Structure 1
């Protein structure tokens, strides 16, 4: 519920709250606000750019109230994005109508070589929305849409401690078609690179990304053809193993995507349909010890082809059908996985009818009830139940409240690293007996909206059966082993947003409690399923100090569950702060002074893997 209402709330904020790259959209919206309904999207964090590299679709998600990001090196290097106490492989990443997957491991789900300017701010799907639109993601989905191209661009250079340097250029242009004035053609591209020695020893990185798209758009349709390439080398001590070695990873990702979104129908009966097709290639070279590469190294090449469809069709003003479908085929070539499990086909179809009833002039009821069918050519199929009821009361012109209750089932199958490798030897011990994972989520919640504030709360209980976790035993020679676990999770969320005259604040608190059953002895530590914060709070602030100075601060405090592999404290407090100076004398120029991990926390986000250090940077950007 939060991601939907947040966009509506931010549309009422002062225009200066929104990012500079949306300036053209803002002026159009302002001029036509009395004529048409406009939705403006905004972020759930104060900052939207990282400190130690160039921006990516997952940047600053670690400060998002709705997700928990556990990073190695930094989020843009290797990011495990978890939602509501799940693990990284429970979280899907959706662009357009298609969920991007990597058959080797969920560690690479977030390898998305797309410039953030091309995408909407992320929506976080849980419960019914995740079951409806997510694919092979049992707990949550981070969903992006393709933005209309806006004419303009920027060039940036940056530098900081640890020999950090950054260069970036982005540009976009559009034009109307003379013979078809209702249609426009746009082109957009970017090139970004960064490097540094890292915030700790052997934590260096070298990143590069190139991406571009062409777009054909009209009032009710948008077609995008995209290509992106990303190359990342980075190192980190104990990157994946707890054996005190300096590991490295070299990843190359290529993505080709065609996306078409179409609106149709009469006013009051608007319908949408979106079709997405993509080809993704991810090549990985992992080295266990950079000082002794021949001790153990692995090469993986994965290919994924997918076709997806989603939309809403209204049969009347009271009744509509929400639907989603996706077919995905993947394969892998690996030096460390067995040869008899190297490909899989995935199928998912979701249909959730929606009934809307107006109770009186101020109240309405919405009921969604349907199901989802998941299958592969290697696993048992599963039919899941999906449904919710929401009650909306319009209190006055600028205030409303919503109560809802929902139940949703979602399912997924294990990645090849978990199920396709050796079960008796190697650093990463697979388990060929892993079954389809099933997650059931029961939830009640409420949302209260006013002109200058918003408050959301939710209480949920989730049953995860046959969840694939990676565990460690002090008696084992492997770094980690894949084991199934049944977990029940109780969670409570509170999220509040407040607008002041010259500042905006977002705050949150989340409580999680888990009970687990591995069904076996010898599990001394869990890297993921039991690596969660029972208590977590965030606080974001945007302060418009003057016409030329803006301050943005994100804070996160957490109390993590005790883990036998974690060194140091189980609690941490992180801060990410930026000061932006935009001189009035030079339009389009700004200087950003930024710091991440201001208090130099060394908290181990992954047990046994060293935490990041502090990073400072200064970035000069010129927009046109």
Structure 2
């Protein structure tokens, strides 16, 4: 069976090799790798953007996701400062972040899901799970999951220094060493670490930042296994006008995140029918100091400390050449200590198990059919449980000359519960008004898709209809004294996605278009504006280009155009055009040296990605990196 994916490993692999890997990876990667086994449409397993480095700070796992065809990243200050990652018209709390087999969560709010203190060199490129794959592998993420795997360590390193406008400066060092164990053939041990920092005055007034991250891991690997022990620490201070409220004040946040993870991945069984298994465990602590007004800190400030412990596993067991079982489970326990927001709901335990059997049959020498049918069970010690149904059927046709076509039909249900800020705080006062009547959210997704794949060209398309019931949204009323109120809403979403990639002799191109249409029912009249559920683009297009101009010169361009849904809180227009451009010169005279000139928001677009929150300005930088 073919794993239908969009693989855009720009500048790293020949396109023909990408196509072959896409066709043949289903058995090798089933269940636990970042390239999950399945037929869900447009799972992105490589870089889906031209650029892979940000302009205004050091690289992080979510850098440049705003130009990803399937991800709508709504940032405050910049993506690496505070990022709301949405998928297919969902909201930030509908999106999970999965490392290995474990989904990272923050019990306070989904605003902090993307606080991941891991160097990008440690992780694979993100895969975007929707539909059946999200229902199978995601946890407490009803619409989509951004999934990363652990890379094998390779001996390498780099040191970077950067400067830019707005008094921007950056320093970074990364190193990794791998050593083969002579007494154990096929085994190796590796050590990897990095330190990164950056600061600037910001692209607008009161938009300054000061970031720092240190992380490292030890890895033991063999031909059939990989074990990683990881620790990461990250501290971020940043400011932004109207960061979370529409009251024209200069707000700030100071966030510290600690993450300890243990991950083991194992392949077992005969070579003709390899099985996979992965287990992940983590402890995550996130400390947040929020100040409503930096000029008058005592007006309102809040301190929060969240702690999360989790154990997860996933895998695929092949019973025969035709039949296999995909499975995943996760147990998570969290708690929060808060000075202001959460006082009624401060701890919870989450349980999830999913089992999706898979049947494959060869119709003839060129055609095969794959059926997945199963379910997932979600529960907590505070909420009602839910049994969800998932299933899909895909038809693969091999046309020869590395060409193929895949058609599929899928239906998936996924569910989640609201974060503590939404359900656990005051329902009558405060900046952020909770709602203790919020119920478990349920999302149902019906989808049809097609993929057409040739040696140097690929098109992926999908049409989906999603029912979100009891979705927790944050809304605003012009008659209210609070900045935001948590309210349930039922939303039906129609979506169309088209993504095309093309490899030329000296360039790679990716283009996409997404259409979304929503109908909503809040069941109350006191909603004048929605910060999230109705903050979406009915029309969005991206265009990425990597041009290998010469052996020493490379140009990368990412573009995004959007037409946003009208919102009563948004200042300025409802359309925007963003561009991220980098020029890289690697002199032949000095091996390993590169100079990168980059600009983000080339046209100084001030579009408000969050209604009422000012958009970012342009940022220029020059970075010198030496690799070894």
TM-score, with structure 2 as normaliser: 0.95
Structure 1 position 428 matched with structure 2 position 432: yes
User: Is the 2:4–2:406 contact (alpha carbons within 8 Å) kept by the matching residues of 1?
Assistant: no
Structure 1 position 383 matched with structure 2 position 414: no
User: Is the 1:239–1:247 contact (alpha carbons within 8 Å) kept by the matching residues of 2?
Assistant: yes
**Partner SS state of residue 401, structure 1:** strand
C-alpha distance in 2 between matches for 1:369 and 1:442 = 14
Q: 1:282 aligns with which of 261, 267, 286?
A: 286
C-alpha distance in 2 between matches for 1:78 and 1:526 = 19
Q: 1:443 aligns with which of 444, 447, 453?
A: 447
Structure 1 residues 582 and 447: CA distance shift in structure 2, 3 A: same
User: Is the 1:51–1:615 contact (alpha carbons within 8 Å) kept by the matching residues of 2?
Assistant: yes
C-alpha distance in 1 between matches for 2:290 and 2:333 = 24
Q: 2:397 aligns with which of 393, 400, 403?
A: 393
Residue in 2 that maps onto 1:113: 117
Give the drift of 1:15.
4.3
C-alpha distance in 2 between matches for 1:3 and 1:81 = 25
Aligned residues: 608
Residue in 1 that maps onto 2:320: 316
Residue in 2 that maps onto 1:189: 193
**Partner SS state of residue 133, structure 2:** helix
Structure 1 residues 37 and 89: CA distance shift in structure 2, 3 A: closer
Residue in 2 that maps onto 1:123: 127
Q: 1:74 aligns with which of 57, 73, 78?
A: 78
Structure 1 residues 37 and 424: CA distance shift in structure 2, 3 A: closer
C-alpha distance in 2 between matches for 1:447 and 1:214 = 39
Give the drift of 1:585.
0.1
Give the drift of 1:295.
0.1
C-alpha distance in 2 between matches for 1:370 and 1:234 = 45
Give the drift of 1:16.
6.7
**Partner SS state of residue 271, structure 2:** coil
Residue in 2 that maps onto 1:543: 547
C-alpha distance in 2 between matches for 1:244 and 1:391 = 54
C-alpha distance in 2 between matches for 1:224 and 1:17 = 29
Give the drift of 1:522.
1.3
Q: C-alpha root-mean-square deviation of aligned residues, in Å? A: 1.9
Residue in 1 that maps onto 2:329: 325
User: Is the 2:413–2:443 contact (alpha carbons within 8 Å) kept by the matching residues of 1?
Assistant: yes
Give the drift of 1:71.
0.1
Give the drift of 1:6.
2.3
Residue in 1 that maps onto 2:216: 212
What CA deviation, in whole Å up to 9, does each residue of 1:14-40 have, x standing for no partner?
Answer: 74779xxxxxx99xx9xxx9xx98999
Q: Point out 4+ residue stretches in structure 1 off by more than 2 angstroms.
A: 1-7, 13-18, 36-42, 337-340
Q: Which runs of 5+ in 2 are unaligned?
A: 36-44
**Partner SS state of residue 260, structure 2:** strand
Give the drift of 1:340.
3.3
Structure 1 position 576 matched with structure 2 position 574: no
What CA deviation, in whole Å up to 9, does each residue of 1:47-73 have, x standing for no partner?
Answer: 011000000000000000011000000
- Which is worse superposed, 332-341 or 85-94? 332-341
User: Is the 1:2–1:456 contact (alpha carbons within 8 Å) kept by the matching residues of 2?
Assistant: no
Residue in 1 that maps onto 2:40: none
Residue in 1 that maps onto 2:269: 265
For residues 160-559 of structure 1, the aligned pairs below 5 Å read 160-559=164-563
What CA deviation, in whole Å up to 9, does each residue of 1:384-412 have, x standing for no partner?
Answer: 00000000000003100000000000000
Q: Which runs of 5+ in 1 are unaligned?
A: 19-24
C-alpha distance in 1 between matches for 2:536 and 2:525 = 22
C-alpha distance in 2 between matches for 1:400 and 1:139 = 28
What CA deviation, in whole Å up to 9, does each residue of 1:291-317 have, x standing for no partner?
Answer: 000000000000000000000000000
Q: 1:598 aligns with which of 598, 602, 610?
A: 602
User: Is the 1:3–1:124 contact (alpha carbons within 8 Å) kept by the matching residues of 2?
Assistant: no
TM-score, with structure 1 as normaliser: 0.95
C-alpha distance in 2 between matches for 1:5 and 1:450 = 13
Q: 2:53 aligns with which of 36, 49, 52?
A: 49
User: Is the 1:241–1:480 contact (alpha carbons within 8 Å) kept by the matching residues of 2?
Assistant: yes
C-alpha distance in 2 between matches for 1:504 and 1:109 = 32
**Partner SS state of residue 268, structure 1:** helix
What CA deviation, in whole Å up to 9, does each residue of 1:142-199 have, x standing for no partner?
Answer: 0000000010100000000000000000000010112102100000000000000000
Residue in 2 that maps onto 1:21: none
C-alpha distance in 1 between matches for 2:46 and 2:192 = 21
User: Is the 1:275–1:307 contact (alpha carbons within 8 Å) kept by the matching residues of 2?
Assistant: yes
